[in-house]
Amino acid sequence: MNKYRKQILFGVLIAILLYYGGDWLLETLIRGPLAALDSRKDSLGEEIAKTERDLARFRKQSKDMDLWRRQSLPSDPEKARSLYQAWLLELVKHVEMTDSNVDSSEPASRKGMFRVISVALRGRGSLEQLTRFLYDFYSAAHLHQIRTLSITPIQGKDLLDLSITVEALILPTADRKERLSSRHSDRLASDHLEDYLPIVQRNLFGMGGGARVADYAYLTAVNYVDGAPEAWFSLRTNDSLLKLRKGERLEIGSFKGVIAEISDADVILESDGERWLLSIGESLAQAAALPPEF
């Protein structure tokens, strides 16, 4: 019996060793290496993805650099300064700005990689002229940008005082040495100047020192003429007076509407499906929107 008991115990011991030893062997020889391979695979996948991103970035930078070389001012700094200043002067003349002046700085080196020309431009013009200037400026594919744009409406005139700062870059690897690029830019949302004219029609700066025309149009009185009420509007920008009856059109600045109702002290205007209440003594800009049920 002792012999068989020992064999049984030995067999159990062997089974236990095989169980735990097999698990250790499985973990050491199979699972561990597989996990390491998976980790290495993930690591290689990340390295490949990073390499692909770097290559894509490099290809883009190479493509951008190739484009920048074609857009750069001429590689000769003095030629670049003279030609670019002359181009801006011609642009100002083309849009018919008045009292214009263009001054450029000496080309300044930036870490030996490229040079920068700063140009200060001053002039006077209408909103339409400014719109045409900006359109032509950004239609040209020079390596340039407007850094600052200061606009000051002139009191009593439909003109703006303009102060513009421009920066243009010179790359030493530019594909030209003594002439500006003649390329056309694709930076604009539309290639047609007509698409930008609504900016002018909106009259962003208005008249009278920058205020909108509506700020200077007042409902001054409601008078009865031949038994019918008339709304009298005073336009202080030009000292004129409008006398309108119910149903007649009112067009002041960017506002276009119809006289819907006239009472002793108020007028209701209709414009683009909306109704506005204006009381005597208020400017058109102070009109209050009425709820749809009124």
Same domain, 35 and 135: no
Domain end residue (candidates: 156, 171, 201): 201
pLDDT tens sequence for the chain (294 residues): 555 565 565 565 555 555 555 555 556 656 666 666 667 767 766 766 665 665 556 455 556 678 888 889 999 999 999 999 999 999 999 999 999 999 999 998 887 788 999 999 999 998 889 999 999 999 998 999 999 999 888 776 778 899 999 999 999 888 888 899 888 888 888 888 888 877 776 555 544 433 466 778 899 999 999 999 999 999 887 778 899 999 999 988 778 899 999 999 999 999 888 888 999 998 888 888 887 655
For residue 187, being part of any structural domain is answered with: yes
Same domain, 81 and 197: yes
Read off the tokens for 56.
């894509």
For residue 160, being part of any structural domain is answered with: yes
Phi, psi at 247, each rounded to 5°:
90, -10
pTM above 0.85, yes or no: no
Classified as helix, coil or strand, 145 is strand
Contact 275, 294 (CB under 8 A): yes
Spatial separation of the C-alpha atoms in residues 262 and 265, rounded to whole Å:
8
pLDDT of res. 211:
44
For residue 206, being part of any structural domain is answered with: no
Same domain, 17 and 124: no
> Can you say whether residue 11 is alpha, beta or left, with left for phi > 0 and alpha for psi between -120 and 50 degrees?
alpha
Q: Report H helices in the chain.
A: 2-26, 32-71, 77-94, 127-139, 197-201
For residue 63, being part of any structural domain is answered with: yes
pLDDT of res. 54:
54
Short-list 125, 191, 174, 172, CA closest to 152: 125
pLDDT of res. 4:
59
Spatial separation of the C-alpha atoms in residues 280 and 229, rounded to whole Å:
13
CATH of the domain at 220: 2.30.30
For residue 208, being part of any structural domain is answered with: no
Same domain, 95 and 171: yes
For residue 294, being part of any structural domain is answered with: no
Residue 29 makes CB contacts below 8 A (sequence gap 6+) with none
Count how many domains the chain has: 3
Spatial separation of the C-alpha atoms in residues 188 and 12, rounded to whole Å:
85
CA 92 to chain centre: 23
What is the pairing mode between strands 255-262 and 249-252?
Answer: antiparallel
Residue in the block written with tokens 């499985």: 26
Classified as helix, coil or strand, 95 is coil
Same domain, 11 and 97: no
Domain end residue (candidates: 70, 100, 121): 70
Same domain, 62 and 129: no
Same domain, 65 and 91: no
Structural domain boundaries, residue 36: 1-70
Spatial separation of the C-alpha atoms in residues 51 and 64, rounded to whole Å:
19
